[in-house]
Amino acid sequence: MNSLKFYIDGAWVDPAVPATLGVQNPATEETFATISLGSAADVDRAAKAARRAFSTYSETTVEQRLGWLARIIDGFRARLPELARAMTLEMGSPITFATERQATVALFHFEEAARVLETFQFEERMGPGIVRHEPIGVCGLITPWNWPLNQVASKVAPAIATGCTVVLKPSEIAPLSAMLLAEIIHDSGLPAGVFNLVNGDGPSVGEAIASQPEIDMVSFTGSTGAGIRVATLAAPTVKRVAQELGGKSPNIILPDADLRAAVIQGVHACYTNAGQNCQSPTRMLVHRSQRDAAFDAACAAVASIRLGDPLLPETTMGPVVSQSQFDKVQKLIQSGIDEGATLVAGGPGRPAEINRGYFVQPTVFGDVTPQMTIAREEIFGPVLSILNYETEDEAIEIANDTPFGLAGFVQSSDPERARKVANRIRAGRVYYNGAPFDRSLPFGGYKQSGNGREFGLYGFREYLEVKALLGFPA
């Protein structure tokens, strides 16, 4: 599975300077593939190709772009099992989850971009003038390893749908599914230079994208610290920066909710993708009178999880992505113990029956206070903190006491009461009673969880400039 070339200007090319990196299977700790690491020279080559292509691609018709999207969608569907397996190998997502969620939702972004494009009004009359929506230009896209294809698709699909051109840097930790997507895009006949892919790490390729003068927009998904660095490097060229960053989402279970069902659902939502999920509801807020019942329900939920070989269909949780991620999660679990939280389930170390791979025990802490490290830092592993509250106002105060604001969750049998709580949560999304994750609605954060929005119509608009035309007849 070696992938040593980059996709630039419609062809697979060698990097400017030879350098390689092994791709590790986190379930076995074995290196199973090799990629090349790019440099600023590769980014420069890709950005110039994208700039040349933009001059003509930005003038293509809606019908032409719908045709290319349709061929990408067909190619994606045909290779979906292969894409899912690649993600299982590169980042440990269980094969069932990789097929039904990781790959399938990535496909949805292309389908959704085509749906929005089909009816989008690129020009509209407004008072005495005309408002025109035009593609922003060359877009630098920097994506993470936790949803390696979903995050790529959520950016690439609207970019090419709107008439933009792209320089993509997928995560060097989980790059193989994006390389397969590049093959699908190539086979679609999309014009040369519209889509370009350069592998590499953040300091070498990510920073080159952020600072590259030929790039008009950067869309970044990753940690808040890295997002600050991207925005800083983008500032001198005043390019648009859209960011989806960290989260520490609250899950407020009101006393009138079905507590056991709400806790079990909340535990599983927290552990989605082995907890490597930016909007995971990692802070569960339970009324103090329901503390013990919540602990019992959480233990029942943990007992139903099946860790193991992610290539087996019965596995429901795989490893975290790397040794460094495993070490970070272990350090935070230990901090919860050291700071006096009650260990309800799980704990430090691997599960007893597993002797290799970066597997973390599904862990639940109770009696967590808002100032504990595990209540404040994004853990990005299967670790849940249960906090207690006395009043609804206190629950909302705790929920908002975070620098993040990506998502919130409310559980209640009273929709009207839940809606009032939801309106007070400072976050870009709020889910009621475990509502499914909808990718046609806008996704993005308040505060240090980012700016801009992805998915559906709002994600489409991120890739457009707005021009006002005055004095022209209708």
Cα four-point dihedral sign 192, 195, 199, 203: positive
Token representation of residue 218: 């950067």
Tell me the C-alpha distance between 135 and 392, whole Å.
Answer: 45
What pLDDT, on a 0 to 100 scale, did the predictor assign at position 474? 75
Tell me the C-alpha distance between 409 and 433, whole Å.
Answer: 8
| 432 DSSP β-pair partners | 410
Comma-separated ranges of CATH 3.40.309.10 domains in the chain: 250-439
Cα four-point dihedral sign 89, 95, 97, 100: positive
CA 191, chain centre distance (Å): 27
Token representation of residue 398: 């705790």
Tell me the C-alpha distance between 91 and 83, whole Å.
Answer: 12
CB-based burial label for 458 (10 Å; 0-12, 13-18, 19+): middle
The identity of residue 216, as a single letter, is D
Minimal CA–CA distance to 192: which of 55, 74, 61, 71? Answer: 55
Q: Are strands 129-135 and 464-470 parallel, antiparallel or unpaired?
A: antiparallel
The identity of residue 321, as a single letter, is V
H or E segment at 205? none
Minimal CA–CA distance to 44: which of 201, 217, 167, 200? Answer: 167
Comma-separated ranges of CATH 3.40.605.10 domains in the chain: 6-245+448-470
Fold of 250-439: Aldehyde Dehydrogenase; Chain A, domain 2 (3.40.309)
Tell me the C-alpha distance between 57 and 437, whole Å.
Answer: 33
What pLDDT, on a 0 to 100 scale, did the predictor assign at position 439? 87
pLDDT tens per residue, the chain (474 residues)? Answer: 789 999 999 999 999 999 999 999 999 999 999 999 999 999 999 999 999 999 999 999 999 999 999 999 999 999 999 999 999 999 999 999 999 999 999 999 999 999 999 999 999 999 999 999 999 999 999 999 999 999 999 999 999 999 999 999 999 999 999 999 999 999 999 999 999 999 999 999 999 999 999 999 999 999 999 999 999 999 999 999 999 999 999 999 999 999 999 999 999 999 999 999 999 999 999 999 999 999 999 999 999 999 999 999 999 999 999 999 999 999 999 999 999 999 999 999 999 999 999 999 999 999 999 999 999 999 999 999 999 999 999 999 999 999 999 999 999 999 999 999 999 999 999 999 999 989 899 999 999 999 999 999 999 999 999 999 999 987
HEC profile of 374-436: HHHCCCCCCEEEEEEECCHHHHHHHHHCCCCCCEEEEECCCHHHHHHHHHHCCCCEEEECCCC
Exposure string over 368-402, b if 16+ CB within 10 A, otherwise e: bebebbbbeebbbbbbbbbbbbeebeebbebbbeb
Tell me the C-alpha distance between 97 and 412, whole Å.
Answer: 28
Give the residue numbers marked as catalytic.
244, 278
Residue with tokens 């909808």, as numbered in its chain? 438
Task: Considering the domain delimited by 6-245+448-470, tell me its CATH architecture.
Answer: 3-Layer(aba) Sandwich (3.40)
Classify 7 as helix, strand or coil.
strand
Contact call for residues 199 and 38 (beta carbons, < 8 A): yes
Classify 155 as helix, strand or coil.
helix
Rg (CA), the chain: 23
CB-based burial label for 420 (10 Å; 0-12, 13-18, 19+): middle
Helices (runs of H) and strands (runs of E) counted in the chain: 16, 20
Residue with tokens 């799980």, as numbered in its chain? 346
H or E segment at 13? strand 11-13
Tell me the C-alpha distance between 172 and 98, whole Å.
Answer: 19
Tell me the C-alpha distance between 330 and 93, whole Å.
Answer: 20
Start-to-end C-alpha separation, the chain: 56
